[in-house]
Chain A
Amino acid sequence: DAGVIQSPRHEVTEMGQEVTLRCKPISGHDYLFWYRQTMMRGLELLIYFNNNVPIDDSGMPEDRFSAKMPNASFSTLKIQPSEPRDSAVYFCASKFGRSPINSQETQYFGPGTRLLVL
């Protein structure tokens, strides 16, 4: 079975440019999460969706960041304009959130997108 797919795997861009990160969750999963990992702040949740609807975007740093999920198999995280402090690894994760008994509901992560803004 395919895991969470992210593209691109690496992105180098110049300050001020628009960056779009893409994610395909595991088929059948109804939750999708975007995380950011930096040395200073560790792993932090940016936003998550349930059934394609954004539920909590309180972790989105500022208006330069936006995320969409137009359908169950695709999500984007956009940064416009990008800044050097946005340099980080961005992870997408998904999970199946309707386990009747087992509350484990593990989040499965994609390989990440390593973003460098010069």
Chain B
Amino acid sequence: AQKITQTQPGMFVQEKEAVTLDCTYDTSDPSYGLFWYKQPSSGEMIFLIYQGSYDQQNATEGRYSLNFQKARKSANLVISASQLGDSAMYFCAIRVKGAQKLVFGQGTRLTINP
């Protein structure tokens, strides 16, 4: 079975600073994908970034990047130059190859202070 652990229930960051949200995972499957989603107060789940287990480079999408350390089984999300609109819940999720189910962590609530 797969498991995602997000150890930071909440984080407070000053606007324009970079922030790292932690995610560690557990799976015995060598082929898997890691996803980050953002859930603002309005409730929708917004896909941010994806990292495949065999990807050679860390994924990047605009201000989002993924610090993927396979040996440590961590996939931390880095948000550069944080903005007030980044305040939201952030969820890390894993899906192993051949399976369809996304397994989510408990999430981290990020608050950006002006």
Contacts and interface: CB of A to CB of B under 8 A. Distances in A.
Nearest to A9: B43
Contact of B35 (A56, A89, A106): A106
B102 A112 contact: no
B106 interface: yes
B89 to A, nearest CB: 10
Contact of A48 (B35, B44, B101): B101
A68 to B, nearest CB: 18
Given A43-B91, A103-B33, A103-B52, A112 B43 contact: yes
Given A104-B33, A111-B44, A45 B101 contact: yes
Contacts, number: 52
Contact size class for B? 20 to 34
Interface residues of A, number: 25
A110 B46 CA distance: 9
Contacts of B97: 103
A97 B52 CA distance: 16
B104 interface: yes
Nearest to B53: A103
B81 interface: no
Interface string B19-53: 00000000000010101010000111111001010
A108 B43 contact: no
Interface string B50-84: 10100000000000000000000000000000000
Contacts of A114: 43
Interface of A: 31, 33, 42-45, 48, 50, 55-56, 89, 91, 93, 97, 103-112, 114
